[in-house]
Amino acid sequence: MTWFDTHCHLDSEHNPDGPDALLARAREAGVSAFLCVGVGGMSQAEQALAVAERHPDVYASAGVHPHDAARDAALDFSALWSHPRLLAVGEVGLDYHYDHSPREQQAEVFRRYIALARTVHKPLIIHTRSAAEDTLQILEAEGARDAGGVIHCFSEDRAFAARALDLGFYLSFSGIVTFKTARAIQEVASWAPAERILVETDSPYLAPVPLRGKRCEPAFVVHTGKYVAALRGLDPAHLAALTTENARRCFRVPQA
Ligand SMILES: [Zn+2]
Ligand SMILES: [Zn+2]
């Protein structure tokens, strides 16, 4: 079996022990590719890229998380976009749950990064929380369709999913889909088109059942994948192959 963890945070701020042991454990569990998200500052983006340079099965992204929109609005990643292992722009988006940055500033940075993704021809990794309507409106108005990408850690309903799919986006399911209360997300995970679903850990956050509450790591994507496979009545190996192929298409992973 071969899984693709399409969203993990492996920089030293999130993983003080460093990524190598985590990656080794994940490979042992059957995870064969990783997208390491570089947000939280320039250092995190550079670290994500450094991990990708050292490990041929790791790819990187760079962006400004909505939490950091106020602090990091002026960051300039332009030296990084041409790097062959930097595959995506993000995570970017809106987070009205925490409101760590003023909403207008979140929206301003979000719009700017959609435009940037279109310019550099890279897919977007979208973070949205308690901001569904504004997220969709901005994606639609700013032409995010041209860049494409993924709604990461999908935790919205079927109506949201339908509009995201209309924009050509993929839906990525994290450990949240395994939580008992996540009925609406489970419904989307069982209904969404097979060629548009991905799986991720968002580690170190959101460990799936039966490891809920533990510090999450990329190896745990296997549990989320098996859960989604069961929802769809598929063999886990089939879902692993399907979601891995989808991830490679979504992030335009260069042929090895
Ligand atoms: Zn996120
Ligand atoms: Zn994340």
One digit per residue, pLDDT tens: the chain, 256 residues? Answer: 799 999 999 998 888 888 999 999 999 999 999 999 999 999 999 999 999 999 999 999 999 999 999 999 999 999 999 999 999 999 999 999 999 999 999 999 999 999 999 999 999 999 999 999 999 999 999 999 999 999 999 999 999 999 999 999 999 999 999 999 999 999 999 999 999 999 999 999 999 999 999 999 999 999 999 999 999 999 999 999 999 999 999 999 988 6
The pTM score is 0.97
154 C-alpha vs ligand 1 centroid, how far in Å? 9
209 C-alpha vs ligand 2 centroid, how far in Å? 19
CA distances to 24, 48, 52, 116 from 12, in Å: 17, 10, 14, 27
DSSP H helical ranges for 62-191:
69-72, 103-120, 132-141, 158-166, 183-191
45 C-alpha vs ligand 2 centroid, how far in Å? 12
20 C-alpha vs ligand 1 centroid, how far in Å? 22
7 C-alpha vs ligand 2 centroid, how far in Å? 6
143 C-alpha vs ligand 2 centroid, how far in Å? 23
User: Phi and psi dihedrals of 234, rounded to 5?
Assistant: -110, 155
Closest ligand to the CA of 9: 2
Alpha carbon distance 10, 2 (integer Å): 20
User: Phi and psi dihedrals of 80, rounded to 5?
Assistant: -95, -25
252 C-alpha vs ligand 1 centroid, how far in Å? 21
Question: In this structure, which residues have their CB less than 5 angstroms from ion ligand 2?
Answer: 202
Alpha carbon distance 4, 218 (integer Å): 9
3 C-alpha vs ligand 1 centroid, how far in Å? 20
Closest ligand to the CA of 92: 1
139 C-alpha vs ligand 1 centroid, how far in Å? 16
Closest ligand to the CA of 44: 2
Closest ligand to the CA of 95: 1
153 C-alpha vs ligand 1 centroid, how far in Å? 7
- The pLDDT value given to residue 14: 87
Coil, strand, or helix at residue 157?
coil
- The pLDDT value given to residue 256: 67
Q: Residue 201 gets which letter from DSSP?
A: -
73 C-alpha vs ligand 2 centroid, how far in Å? 18
